[in-house]
Amino acid sequence: MDNAYRILGVNLNATDEQIKQAYSELSERYRSDAQAIHELNNAYDSVMSERRLNRGTTESSANGGYPYFTSIRHLINANRIEEAEVELQRVPVQGRIAEWHFLMGTVMSRKGWLSEATRYYSNAASMEPGNTEYQQAYSSVVYGRQGQAPGNPYTPYRTSNNNDWLTACIVCNCLSMFCDCCGPRNRCC
C-alpha cells in the first residue's frame, strides 16, 4: 500500500482531492507510456478503494456498529480472507447484523463462492435498505446474474439506445428532408 502512495507521489495523510489531482497530473505526463499508466491506475484504484472501505468502517462504527467489524475489514483489505472468515464465524448469532452479512458476502465473493456471496449480500441489503454500500454490492451481483459484465466491448452493437447515435440520426433525417445528399432516408435508423 505504501508503494501505491509512492507511485502517486503523495504522503499517507493527503486528502482525496490531493490524490485525485496528483493522479490527473501524472496520467497527463505519462500519457504515451502504457506500462506507467497501468501502474498508475492500479495504484490509484488501490488507494481509493482502501480509503472507501475505511470510510465505511468509521461511519458504521460511529452509528453504533460493532468495533470488531473494523478489524475484520482490515483483514479483508489485507487480503487475509481465511482469517476474516474465522473471525466472522465467531460472531454470535444475535450479533449478526446487516454489516456481518455484508462482510460475509465480501469474504465469500473474494473466495469465489459466488452463490453464497449472493445470499449474504441479499440479506444485508434487505436488513438495511438505506445503506448504499450494501445496496451497491447486492445490485452488482444482480447485474452479473442478468448477464452484464464490466468492460464489455460488445454491448454497444446490440443496444442502439445510445443518445449520441440518436441525435446523429435525427440530424441526418432532418437533413434528408431537404436533399438526399447524405444518402437515402433512414439508412442508419
Partner 1 sequence: MFGYILPRKPELLVKEYEQYTTVYCSLCRSLQKNYGSVSKAFLNYDFVFLALIGLSGQTQEKDAYIRGCSVNRLKRVSYFDSEILQYSAACLVIASYYALTDNMHDEGFIRRITSYVVRIALSLSFRKACRNYPKVALQVKESVHQQAIIEDAKESSLDRAADPSATALSFMLSRFGNEDNESVFARLGYLLGRFSYLADVGDDLVEDIRKKRYNPVLIKYELDAVDDKRIPKIIEEIREELLLTRSELAVSYSQLQIHSYEGILKNIIYLGLVDTADRLTLEKKKNRNIRVFNADFRKGI
**Residue list 124-163, contact with partner 1 (CB under 8 A):** 141, 143-154, 158
- Candidates 6, 29, 31, 38: give the one binding partner 1 (CB under 8 A): 38
In angstroms, the CA 114 to CA 111 distance is 8
- Candidates 11, 13, 63, 115: give the one binding partner 1 (CB under 8 A): 115
Residue number, 144 or 183, with CB nearest to partner 1: 144
Residue number, 41 or 126, with CB nearest to partner 1: 41
* 68 scored as a contact of partner 1 (CB under 8 A): no
Give the nearest distance from C-beta 23 to partner 1 in angstroms.
18
Selection from 100, 64, 98 nearest residue 84 by Cα: 100
Selection from 30, 9, 12 nearest residue 21 by Cα: 9
User: Residue-wise over 27-63: b if at least 16 C-beta within 10 A, else e?
Assistant: eeeeeeeeeeeebbeebbebbeeeeeeeebbeebbee
Judged on CB neighbours under 10 Å (0-12, 13-18, 19+), 101 is buried
Residues 6+ apart with CB under 8 A from 110: 76, 79, 81
Residue number, 35 or 163, with CB nearest to partner 1: 35
Residue number, 26 or 141, with CB nearest to partner 1: 141
**Residue list 74-93, contact with partner 1 (CB under 8 A):** 79
The residue with cell 472501505 is 53
- Candidates 77, 116, 122, 135: give the one binding partner 1 (CB under 8 A): 116
* 108 scored as a contact of partner 1 (CB under 8 A): yes
**In the complex, which residues of this chain contact partner 1 (CB under 8 A)?**
38, 42, 79, 108-109, 112-116, 118, 141, 143-154, 158
